Amino acid sequence: MLYKGRRRVGVVVNGSLIGGLEMKLDEWYSVEDVRAGKFVVIEGEKSRFFCMVTDVRLDTTNPQVLADPPGEEEELMRQVLHGTATYGTVCLRPLLMMDKDESSGEPHLVKTIPVHFSVVCEADEEDVNRIFGSEARHPRYFHIGRPLDMETPICIDLESFIERSNGIFGKTGTGKTFLTRLVLAGLIHKNRAVNLVFDMHSEYGWQATQESGPGQGGFVKGLKQLFGSKVAIFTLDPESARRRGVQSDFTVHIPYNQITVEDIAPLADELNLNPTAVESAYLIVNRYGRDWLSTLLRQEPKDLKDFAADIGAHPESIAALHRKLKRLEKFDFLREQVSEDAVYKIMECLDRGVHVVLEFGQQSSFLCYMLVANILTRRIHDLYVMKTEKYLASGRPQDKPKQLIITIEEAHKFLNPVAARQTIFGTIAREMRKYFVSLLIVDQRPSSIDDEIMSQIGTRITSLLNDEKDINAVLTGVSNASWLRSVLASLDSKQQALLMGHAVPMPVVIRTRDYDPAFYAALGYVEGKELARKAQANIADLFGEG
């Protein structure tokens, strides 16, 4: 049944502004067609309300009917009871409203509720575009998915997205990597920010394996294949890159004198370092400055007692520090001296608008990942602080730094309550883009991330989470969010996500966009353009190589 061109669902019969509304489902509308997260519109007397379905239940006008239910063969009795004595009740959460007289106006927060028996209808394409914007109308919008039962694109506002740090959450196997690659592709395609991706498992640069589902067992294109010279691949493991047929643009080597105690302290759990050993490291720094680490590692075990006495440290603490930090010598990318500074190469790319993916190859242990991410991000952040101060002093548009988004996986390792106070990532998350740097954090255990950091996350794209603590963590800082718990718990394990926060006007459940040839084509990729050869030539020009 249609109501003013929309398919009617039911009528409002009960509810409150704080607790939400209840709708009696029309008898011709099957309760099995109503899913948690569905997007509907209430036609009030003066206003139109945009709502999300949060719960569905079965009700009856007379409890006696349930005492003697009709049998399977009594189809006529079932039909007689349906819609009269038995019916479905749907719980709705009004999220936005707009005056009916202002058809071109912008929706605003809900301040009231519709009258009794207001008609509830399915949302249409016009409603979705009015709320979430249209990619065709403005380049700031990027199509990320569709409502559960519609084919109209849901867009995120990339201008709002880059204003804060953001998070992509979900348990293992729910497609967080594909969602992250989707968002990064949108940022690159729309030229809204430059990206530095710490790619722990080499899944973003050139190509990655297709997850289970249609086309399983194949490969999907990485950012370098899609965008060519707009993306540079840096690697810590050139041998791994060659084995995978990836021609990297720069091999990263890090000198020991760029490693600070602040880079080591967050690795205490990975290295099994106690606080006393970390404090001893500062005594070495006081004596040897930037050469503290190479000086320590050169010591022979038999000389450590004299070395400790020389700097005024406890011998056992120095011995423990020496023994644990010896593990760093197995990393081939750490050198006494390097010919080219990786941080300046990265900054050179970022300044030119080239996005950087740093692949770890076989060097994908948590210890390696955290160490490298800490070292590079700390120095890049320092350079961004200097660039920002220069821009504030001059006021010239050409001095304004390009907005940088740093993507980290396993984010709880960097942002747990202890590490968040020690790592540069905690500082960036709290700065609210003060220095034109923000984070895109990817994690399956948001409950392990510091509450203060979670409250600063602007936009959250959340796939299925089973742990109640993780669900509560994702909702940290969201006012009156209890109704969203049931929505999160009802998501499918693949290609569904709850989108909420700064980049969207209201929470919405989406079927995420397919990362497939149709998506590649929408980004302007044309098969057979020999992007790899052209991209490599352009990157070589960037670095001044032959």
Instruction: Report pLDDT for 544.
Output: 56
Find where tokens 């320590």 sit. 296
CA atoms of 271 and 170, how far apart (whole Å): 28
CA atoms of 351 and 362, how far apart (whole Å): 29
For each of the chain's 546 residues, which pLDDT tens digit applies? 777 778 999 999 999 998 999 999 998 898 999 988 889 999 999 999 999 999 999 988 888 777 777 777 777 776 767 767 888 999 999 999 999 876 667 888 999 999 999 999 999 988 899 899 988 888 899 999 999 888 899 999 999 999 999 999 999 888 899 999 999 999 999 998 999 999 989 999 988 887 654 445 588 999 999 999 999 999 999 999 899 888 899 999 999 999 999 899 888 888 888 888 888 999 999 999 999 999 999 999 999 999 999 998 899 999 999 999 999 999 999 999 998 999 999 999 999 999 999 999 888 788 999 999 999 999 999 999 999 999 999 999 999 999 999 999 999 989 988 888 888 999 999 887 889 999 999 999 999 999 999 988 999 999 999 888 999 999 987 776 778 888 888 888 888 999 999 999 999 999 999 998 999 999 888 775 545 445 555 555 555 543
The contacts of residue 380 (CB under 8 Å, 6+ apart) are: 196, 343, 346, 347, 350, 404, 406, 437
Q: Are 158 and 192 in contact (CB under 8 A)?
A: yes
Instruction: Report pLDDT for 215.
Output: 44
Beta bridge partners of 119: 11, 43
Instruction: Report pLDDT for 207.
Output: 86
Instruction: Report pLDDT for 103.
Output: 63
Which of 496, 475, 538 lies closest to 224 in space, CA to CA?
538
User: How is residue 526 annotated by DSSP?
Assistant: -
Instruction: Report pLDDT for 102.
Output: 67
Instruction: Report pLDDT for 528.
Output: 58
Q: Are 408 and 414 in contact (CB under 8 A)?
A: yes
DSSP string, 184-222: HHHHHHTT--EEEEEETTS-SSSEEEPPSSTTTTSEEE-
144 burial level (CB within 10 Å; 0-12, 13-18, 19+):
buried
Instruction: Report pLDDT for 362.
Output: 87
- Does residue 448 sit in helix, strand or coil? helix
Dihedrals phi, psi of 96, to nearest 5 degrees: -140, 160
Q: Model-level pTM greater than 0.85?
A: yes
